[in-house]
Copies of this chain bind each other. A is one copy, B any other.
Amino acid sequence: MRDVSIIGIGQTDVGEHWERSLRDLAVDATIAVLKDSHVERVDALYVGNMLSGELTAQEHLGTLVADWGGLGGAEAFKVEAADASGAAAVRLAYLAVASGVHEFVIACGVEKTTDADAETTNAAWSYGTDAEYEGNQGVTMPSMAGLLMRRYLHEFGVPREDFAPFPVIAHANGANNSHAMYRSPISADVYSRAGMVADPICMFDAAPMCDGAAAVLLCPSEMAMRLNAKPVRIRASAAATDRLAVHSRTDPLFLRASYLSAQRAYLQAGVGPSEMDLFEVHDAFSILAALSLEACGFAERGKATVLAREGAFNLDGRTPTSKRGYGVPICTMGGLKARGHPIGASGVYQVVEVVQQLRGEAGANQVEAHLGMAQSLGGTGATAITHILEG
């Protein structure tokens, strides 16, 4: 298996791009990553996207982006794993380079939600749940997350307000990211007064659906050294799945896919959570961030909110006083909550942001980082894809 590195990143601003199409966004990110990589030949392009068919009447998206991105003839597919589609594209690019089949491969994530009305988009997002047993019964992603959060509050005796640190951290960090959708800090007080989306999920517990595209370019590490002054090594790439429907899971508060995927990544990299300098966590909902932090070993079960209140997940976090886990800076560029959650693109944005940190290009949000981790979840956590990167 060849060692693989990332030598380029590209991203569009995240937001509501009323005047840009699905194609425009993906091509912008592709051109940006080519420019950043100084690479002209690309062997393959894998596009992570969840809803191009439902919202834009466009499938065959890999080939569309390869065509309009000027990659004439390159291998190209679309890969889908609900919200984890972008991370799946990175995973696939990793496999293609590690195998020795390709040298230069782009993983691009893109989502264009504003081509459809909010009701259509919200319904389509629920296609990431089990259609027959969940989605078709009227379930939405916020309502499923609401059930999980309600159970968490009950099981661990945590007040709702204790989830405030997750969006507070995300918005504080997003304020310094020029690509972020929301750039205003919020306070815990604002959180506690926010309107409900799906009780107990309030407006600040739910990441916004929006538009955006991001891309990374991978090549063999031995070539990366020669091509780029700051290549970032992929120390681990791992994916895992759980039962799709929440009601099928023995313990709905244990994200088994998140756990398995992190364990596989730790094993491959030969490191553990205590050695991680930052963690781009999947905070599509605050409850998913808490459950992922627990499943990945950054907090003991039921203690993620305790650690959060102690500041263990702030940019300068890491050593919680309570010793309920390791703590780690999260959502360093705003996370899904403040940077925005362009569904099938988010997994690539996370990897781009870890690269920014490891290259020392994170501006006001820079953490001292040697090892960074990104984990993207699909749906209510039935898919988890983890990457550990080294700068």
Residues of B within 8 A of A78 (CB): 79-81
Question: Which chain A residues (101-139) contact chain B, with CB distance < 8 Å?
Answer: 101, 124, 127-132, 135-136
Quick one: which of A62, A127, A379 has the most chain B CB within 10 A? A62
Residues of B within 8 A of A124 (CB): 53, 59
Bin the interface of chain A by size.
Answer: 35 or more
Question: Cβ of B101 and Cβ of A95 under 8 Å apart?
Answer: yes
Q: Pick from A69-77, A324-332, A352-360 the stretch touching chain B.
A: A69-77
Question: Cβ of A60 and Cβ of B132 under 8 Å apart?
Answer: no
Contact of A240 among B54, B75, B128 (CB under 8 A): B75
Question: Cβ of A257 and Cβ of B73 under 8 Å apart?
Answer: yes
A78 CA / B59 CA spacing, docked (Å)? 13
Question: Cβ of B241 and Cβ of A130 under 8 Å apart?
Answer: no
Q: Pick from A146-154, A190-198, A242-250, A289-297 the stretch touching chain B.
A: A242-250
A75 CA / B77 CA spacing, docked (Å)? 18
Whether A23 sits at the interface, judged by CB under 8 Å, is: yes
Question: Cβ of A59 and Cβ of B51 under 8 Å apart?
Answer: yes
Chain B residue nearest in CB terms to A135 = B57
Whether A319 sits at the interface, judged by CB under 8 Å, is: no
A5 CA / B56 CA spacing, docked (Å)? 38
Question: Cβ of B382 and Cβ of A63 under 8 Å apart?
Answer: yes
Question: Cβ of B79 and Cβ of A79 under 8 Å apart?
Answer: yes
Given A53-B53, A95-B92, A131-B58, are A383 and B244 also a contact pair (CB < 8 Å)? no
A44 CA / B57 CA spacing, docked (Å)? 29
Whether A88 sits at the interface, judged by CB under 8 Å, is: yes
Whether A304 sits at the interface, judged by CB under 8 Å, is: no
Whether A213 sits at the interface, judged by CB under 8 Å, is: no
Whether A21 sits at the interface, judged by CB under 8 Å, is: yes
A-B contact pairs, 22 of them (CB 8 A): A53-B53, A53-B127, A60-B244, A63-B242, A63-B244, A63-B383, A67-B248, A67-B382, A73-B257, A73-B260, A75-B239, A76-B239, A76-B383, A77-B79, A78-B80, A78-B81, A92-B95, A95-B95, A95-B101, A98-B99, A98-B101, A99-B101
